[in-house]
C-alpha cells in the first residue's frame, strides 16, 4: 500500500501556469503543516524551479512540456513535501551554476533561482535525466526550521 | 503590479502595489524608471510596502533598476520593506548594497544629507 499522496501537473512551457503551480504548492505546504513563512518560501522555490524549466530548460518553446510532481508523505499525517520538476531541455551541469553571492555577481540581475531553491528547501538535487532534460528534486519538512 | 508616482521635495517616490515577479511588474518598473531618468529625475525612492511577493526576476529588476540609476548619476533607495523582502535582500547580501529605510521621512531627508 502506498504511503504517499502524489499530485502531478504537466503543462506547456508558458509562465501563465506559474500562479496555479504556486497555489498548489501553498495548499500542499499547509497540508504538510508548514508555517506561513515556510509555505511562502517553498512556493518561491517551486516557482523558481518551474521558471527555470520553462525559460532555461525548454527555452520557452511552448510545445515542450514541464512536469511538476508533488509528493506529500506520509499520507496519514503528512509533514514532508517533495517536489520534482522535469523539463525537456538539454539540461546543464549544476557545477556551472554561478554563485550569486560572489562579489562580482552581487549586482547581476539574474542567476539567483537555484540559490533560492537551495536556501528555502531542506534538500535540493539537480540532475540530467536519461531521456534528456533536467530534473530538480526539492524536499521540505515541517520539522525543519523555515 | 501598479506603480503610483509622487514627488516629495526633490525625490520621486514610486509606490509599487502588487507582485513583483517574472512577467508581472518587472517590465513596468523598467519602463517607469527609464522615463523618469529621461526626464532628468535623479533621486528615486521605491516604496515596497504593498509588494507581497517578489521572485528572483523581481529582485533582479530591483537590482537592474539600482545599477541603471547609478550609472546615470542618480540614486535609488528603498523604503517600507516587508519582512519577507528584507529576508530576501539579507540572504542575497543585497542589504549591504541598497540604502533601505523604515520611514519615508527618513528616506526622503537622506537624499539631502
Which domain covers residue B26, as residue numbers? 2-110
Can you read off the three cell numbers belonging to residue B102? 523604515
In total, how many domains does chain B have? 1
pLDDT at B10: 94
Per-residue pLDDT reduced to its tens digit, A62-118: 999 999 999 999 988 999 999 999 999 998 888 888 999 999 999 999 999 999 999
Name the DSSP letter for residue A74: S
What residue of B is the nearest CA neighbor of A51? B22
Mean pLDDT of A30-39: 96
What residues in A contact B63, CB-CB < 8 Å? 107-109
The C-alpha atoms of residue A58 and residue A89 are separated, in whole angstroms, by 5
Q: E-assigned strands of chain B?
A: 2-8, 11-17, 43-50, 75-79, 99-101
Weakly modelled stretches of chain B, pLDDT under 50: none
Select from A20, A45, A108, A109 the residue whose CB has the most chain B CBs within 10 Å, as the one to mutate to test that interface.
A109
Question: What CATH topology corresponds to A5-141?
Answer: Heat Shock Protein 90 (3.30.565)
pLDDT at B40: 95
Cis peptide before A74 (omega within 30 of 0): yes
Can you read off the three cell numbers belonging to residue A85? 520538476
pTM (whole model) above 0.95: no
B59: Cβ contacts below 8 Å, ≥ 6 apart? A112, B20, B88, B89, B92, B94
Helices and strands (DSSP H and E) totals, chain A: 3, 5
A123-128, strands of its sheet edge to edge = A5-12, A65-73, A80-86, A134-141, A123-128
- Enumerate the domain spans of chain A: 5-141
pLDDT band at A3 (very low <50, low <70, confident <90, very high): low
pLDDT at B78: 98
Q: What is the CATH number of the domain that holds B79?
A: 3.30.750.24
Is the pLDDT assigned to residue A146 strictly greater than 60? Answer: no
CA A136 vs CA A36, A48, A52, B24: distances in Å: 24, 11, 10, 25
Least CB-CB distance to A109: which of B53, B55, B63? B63
The C-alpha atoms of residue A37 and residue B70 are separated, in whole angstroms, by 33
Amino acid at each position: 500500500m502506498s504511503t504517499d499522496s502524489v499530485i502531478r501537473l504537466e503543462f506547456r512551457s508558458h509562465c501563465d501556469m506559474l500562479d496555479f503551480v504556486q497555489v498548489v504548492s501553498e495548499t500542499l505546504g499547509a497540508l504538510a503543516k508548514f508555517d506561513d513563512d515556510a509555505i511562502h518560501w517553498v512556493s518561491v522555490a517551486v516557482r523558481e524551479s518551474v521558471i527555470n524549466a520553462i525559460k532555461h530548460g525548454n527555452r520557452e518553446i511552448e510545445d515542450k512540456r514541464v512536469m511538476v510532481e508533488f509528493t506529500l508523505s506520509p499520507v496519514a499525517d503528512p509533514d514532508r513535501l517533495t517536489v520534482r520538476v522535469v523539463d525537456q531541455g538539454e539540461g546543464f551541469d549544476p557545477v556551472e551554476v554561478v554563485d550569486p553571492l560572489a562579489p562580482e555577481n552581487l549586482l547581476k540581475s539574474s542567476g539567483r533561482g537555484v540559490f533560492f531553491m537551495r536556501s528555502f528547501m531542506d534538500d535540493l538535487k539537480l540532475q540530467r535525466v536519461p531521456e534528456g532534460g533536467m530534473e530538480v528534486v526539492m524536499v521540505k519538512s515541517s520539522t525543519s526550521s523555515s | 503590479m501598479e506603480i503610483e508616482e509622487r514627488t516629495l521635495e526633490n525625490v520621486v517616490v514610486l509606490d509599487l502595489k502588487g507582485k513583483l515577479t517574472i512577467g508581472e511588474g518587472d517590465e513596468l518598473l523598467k519602463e517607469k524608471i527609464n522615463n523618469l531618468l529621461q526626464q532628468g529625475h535623479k533621486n528615486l525612492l521605491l516604496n515596497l510596502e504593498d509588494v507581497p511577493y517578489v521572485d528572483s526576476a523581481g529582485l533582479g529588476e530591483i537590482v537592474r533598476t539600482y545599477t541603471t540609476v547609478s550609472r546615470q548619476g542618480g540614486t535609488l533607495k528603498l523604503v517600507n520593506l516587508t519582512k519577507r523582502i528584507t529576508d530576501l535582500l539579507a540572504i542575497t547580501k543585497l542589504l549591504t548594497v541598497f540604502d533601505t529605510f523604515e520611514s519615508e521621512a527618513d528616506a526622503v531627508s537622506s537624499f539631502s544629507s
